[in-house]
Amino acid sequence: MSKAKSPKLIPLSPVPLYNQLKEILRGQILDGTWPPLSRMPSENELGQRFDVSRITVRQALNDLQKEGLIFKIHGKGTFVAKPKAFQNVSTLQGLAESLGRQGYEVINRLISFKTVAASSQVAQRLKIKEGSPVSEIKRLRLVNREPVSLEVTWLPLDIGQQLEKADLVTRDIFLILENDCGYNLGHAELAIDAILAESELTRLLKIEEGSPIMRIERLTHTDDGTPIDYEYLYYRGDAFQYRLRIDRHRTDSGEKS
């Protein structure tokens, strides 16, 4: 990549030099000067290019790393991070349904589809007896050919059996339930937390053990309130975001509550 003339920092500016440098590098990352996964110049190279100390460069890079714009690999250097795919959770949608509209390719790798005895938690969520047979589906979700999430779904057996011959590689379960099985989905309850990756997740998502994982617990109901789909969604923390809009409700008088 050819070197463009670097913008100059202003030594006497009230804005600290590291902050000026951070903004310049951020702009170069966002405008494509440094494309995703490209290697950034070393701390020494940046120091010489902008005529600042290595400490100033390191502080600017640390801030960019905290923002998720770059990542460091020990012994190899600093690289530009890939933009995270995101799903808007203001509406009830499957991953492919949501990301497909943004131009992403979403495919699934079916890990397993089997009948298991409902655990106490699964039974409680689906309002069935503990130990009752349920369908368990495990799928690895790939976005633009990269593994992003593991989806573990439990369905009442009679519903799960209807999905046995469905296309679970290219289609969302929500769309299959609605269009093929005739169920009208109503609402879902979500709980979001963070965990550290263990062996199965590290292997499937191609991450290091102990990496941060965003875990979504989701229980989906039909429009009459019947629970139909209970699942855990495990997302790579470095590759995916959930986004939502929250409005502040007002009282009848027009004042904010």
Task: Let me know whether 76 and 181 are in one domain.
Answer: no
Q: Which of 80, 103, 120 is the last residue of a domain?
A: 80
* Cβ atoms of residues 162 and 129 within 8 Å: no
Q: Give a yes or no: residue 3 inside a domain.
A: no
Give domain status of residue 4, yes or no: no
- The two counts, helices (H) then strands (E), for the chain are 8, 10
Q: What are phi and psi of 42, to 5 degrees?
A: -70, 170
Quote the percentage of the chain above a pLDDT of 90. 43
Residue 255 lies in a domain: no
Whether 254 is in a domain gets the answer: no
Give me the pLDDT at residue 121, please.
96
Quick one: 107 and 218 in the same domain? Answer: yes
202 exposure class (CB count in 10 Å sphere: 0-12, 13-18, 19+): middle
Range from 32-41, 184-193, 220-229 that averages highest in pLDDT: 220-229
Specify the pTM. 0.61
Is 48 part of a structural domain of the chain? yes
At which residue do the structure tokens 């070197």 appear?
A: 3
| CATH number for the domain that contains residue 54 | 1.10.10.10
Model confidence at 207, pLDDT cuts 50, 70, 90, reads: confident
Enumerate long-range contacts of 241-248, CB under 8 Å, 24 or more apart. 241/84, 241/85, 241/86, 241/87, 242/86, 242/87, 242/89, 242/192, 242/214, 242/216, 243/86, 243/87, 243/88, 243/89, 244/88, 244/89, 244/90, 245/88, 245/90
Q: What's residue 257's pLDDT?
A: 45
Of the listed ranges 32-46, 48-62, 82-96, 134-148, the one predicted with least confidence: 82-96
Last-in-domain residue among 53, 80, 107 = 80
Instruction: Average the pLDDT over 22-43 and give the result.
Output: 87
Whole-angstrom distance, CA of residue 149 vs CA of residue 235:
4
Looking up tokens 């009208």, which residue turns up?
Answer: 184
Domain limits for position 48: 17-80
Number of other residues whose CB lies within 10 A of the CB of residue 77: 12
